A and B are shown apart, each in its own frame.
Chain A
Amino acid sequence: MTDNPTPGNTAPSQAMQQYQARIEQLESKLSSFETSLGNQRVAPDWKTNAERYGLLIAWVLLILALGAFKPQQMFAWNSYATMFGSNAMIVALTLALLIPLTTGDFDLSVASVMGLSSMIIAVLNVKLGMAIPGAIVLAILAGCLVGAINAFFILYFGIHSLIVTLGTGYFINGVILWISDSNTIAGVSMGLIKAVILTRFFGIPVGFYYALLLTGIIWYVFQYTSLGRRLLFVGRGREVARLSGVNVTRMRVGAMVSAGAIAAIAGVLYTGMRGTADPSSALAFLLPAFAAAFLGSTTIYPGRFNAPGAFVAVFFLSTGIMGLNFLGVDSFVQNLFYGGGLVIAVSISQLIRGRKPMD
């Protein structure tokens, strides 16, 4: 820990020194916080571990419980390989949500961006004959553009992100209907389908590994780079972060643009999975993604939106749904599972945060 800097308003170099000192102070606070966490790792108490690995344990218990009724399906590798492969786009969409959530913004337009990206690829590839790589690049650029537009309205006009992204999401839905002429477009190049689901490693469609890679990258950025730390810091207290010299506006713009880009990647995976794009179905994935993001924030790094937690949460929820399908339970249970999962996850997050009122 460094000493508190002496307040003063003399020469610019002195002010610079004070500024540096404050930054160092904050860095050291963060590192002491990390050390304390690290110490806990060395001498773990059961409560911390239960929090960190609770969802993983619950996942295993869920498999065992469902496996007691349907052992042939629940204990078969093929079931999990299939499930892993078919949820890649939900993982990507959850990761897209997670970045603005970390900086304290909600992005309700991510599912629309996923649909837009999917439709752009289909229109460019099927209707205009463009090759898949070019179509993917344009789809991701469109996602970035939506993120930048969201950021502009949120930051320039000072509007709450919920309102802006609700509006832009609805607007994008109209754009999708417009560019598709309200049609579902089939016949996307087989190359994309092969690159997402028809190629397998260990029986798992390759789309899963893209999602895993994306999770790894986001986990690394948040855990081991100063950029990740700053994003986290902005989310914990914008004013404090600003006063500490973090460029809050730039961080929030970056988070919204990244969300747009990653949601567009989710759209690429969605198109690759089906070989078709339709104007509306992507919107249905918003709630599952929110449920997974919040459920993920209760595990691995509890109390913080985190990529590995979100990854585990997506597959925890999917395992539950798979097991219920095997048991022949009616499909409305899926709504109970996702809706209930979201509320329970947020409640657990709140308990971890000491029931501090949410902004």
Chain B
Amino acid sequence: MTNKMTTTLSTLAAGTALCLTGVASAGIEDAKKLIEQYSQLPTFEAPGPAFDAKACMADKKMFVIPLTNANPFNAAISQGFVDAAEVVGFELRDWETQMDPAGWIQGVNTAVAEKFDLIDMQGGLPPEFMVPQITEARAAGLKVTATHNYDATTQSIPDFLDSAANTDYVTVGKIIAAWAIAKTEGKVNALVLGPDEITPTAPLRDAIMGYLKDNCPDCQSKYINVPVNDWATKTQPAVQNALLADPSINYVLPVYDSLSQFIVPAIQIAGSSAKIVSYNGTPFVLDMMRDGDIVEMNVGESLGWVGMAGTDANMRLLCGLEPVTKLNTPAYIFTDENVATAGNPATFNDGYGDVHIEGFKALWGIK
């Protein structure tokens, strides 16, 4: 009897272990497939049907307010908008701001006073901060939208906006987690960091940690909130102390790659061999990848493409076409192998190819 029970228990245990191993290896295979998919050069997929952009934008003008012009990320997106407006041939104003709500408000008021047709708050400017001004602008007949702020799948566009062109942050988060799983063969101990007050942090963070949990039974992760204003003072001690408390951490995954500048010294001082994998394709981080060994992979997206895709969505809104709420800008993986294509020093637009320029031109009926 006892022997029988022992045999049954052993069989059950072996079965469970086999099952878990199966889950783990399936997770690793899925992770590798995802990495393979996003390591390919981006291809252009039209966000909607073609239309005559020149004709519909002939009497319309667009006003873009970036989070701050002092941030090269926002400046690069704005440049994409400016380039697109030049291609189509309509008036576009890129408003100068320095991360100040007074400047944002002044921008909205100027757009209303000068009778623009659409205001776009791009690259993380939180529309929630400007509800009274947005309401006033909409009452005056302007359309108000936001580009590259909300997540395309987990966040909804607020009622006080006419529309928004959103980013697929969830896929980006999955790619980051998949990379760590694939590289460690399912043995990830990750430290995830991000500023909770920024809109895309939640979908990125949840996608990274959720993917690890769902696809990797032997993986673990811990999250630290580092508000943007405290990046310089808190990131390094927080990462350093986390690495000291748990030396088995093998990946540090900041949701925005600009945090890497504070994480690299923490890893060096703590004597850890952890690697950094992150998102944004920020040029100086790609430079750090090229020149060192700590930044291992970065998920980037062409910001010129983001600007053109945002312009496309806005034109459709102004022209009364079927709305587009998801940017068609694909994520793309940079590693040591292809980082040279991003330029030296790297830029926000190099390395992704330029299929989007011809793609959008064809879509807008421009030769």
List residues of chain A with CB under 8 Å of any chain B CB.
70, 73, 76, 78-79, 82-83, 85-86, 177, 181-187, 193, 197-198, 205, 273-276, 278-285, 288, 318, 321-322, 325-326, 330-331, 334-335
Contacts and interface: CB of A to CB of B under 8 A. Distances in A.
A82 B245 contact: no
A85 B265 CA distance: 10
A331 B234 contact: yes
B21 to A, nearest CB: 32
Contacts, number: 112
A325 B285 CA distance: 26
Contacts of A70: 245
B122 to A, nearest CB: 16
Interface stretch (B54-62, B220-228, B302-310, B312-320): B220-228
B1 interface: no
A284 B265 contact: no
B300 to A, nearest CB: 15
Contact of A177 (B70, B261, B270, B285): B70
Interface of B: 69-72, 75, 224-227, 229-234, 236-238, 240-242, 244-245, 258, 261-262, 264-266, 268-271, 282-285, 287-288, 291-292, 345
Given A78-B244, A281-B231, A330 B288 contact: no
Contacts of A318: 237
Contact of A276 (B69, B237, B284): B284
B72 A334 contact: no
B129 to A, nearest CB: 20
A4 B244 CA distance: 63
A186 B270 contact: no
B262 A182 contact: no
A325 B72 contact: no
B230 A335 contact: yes
Nearest to B291: A187
A76 B287 CA distance: 35
Contact of B284 (A186, A197, A281, A283): A186
A330 B264 contact: no
B244 A276 contact: no
Given A186-B284, A275-B265, A334-B234, 19 more contacts: A70-B245, A82-B270, A82-B271, A85-B269, A86-B236, A86-B237, A86-B240, A182-B69, A182-B70, A184-B282, A197-B268, A274-B261, A275-B292, A280-B232, A281-B232, A281-B261, A282-B232, A318-B237, A325-B241
A306 B314 CA distance: 60
Contact of A325 (B237, B264, B287, B292): B237
A322 B258 contact: no
A82 B230 contact: no
Given A282-B232, A335-B230, A321 B265 contact: no
Nearest to A318: B237
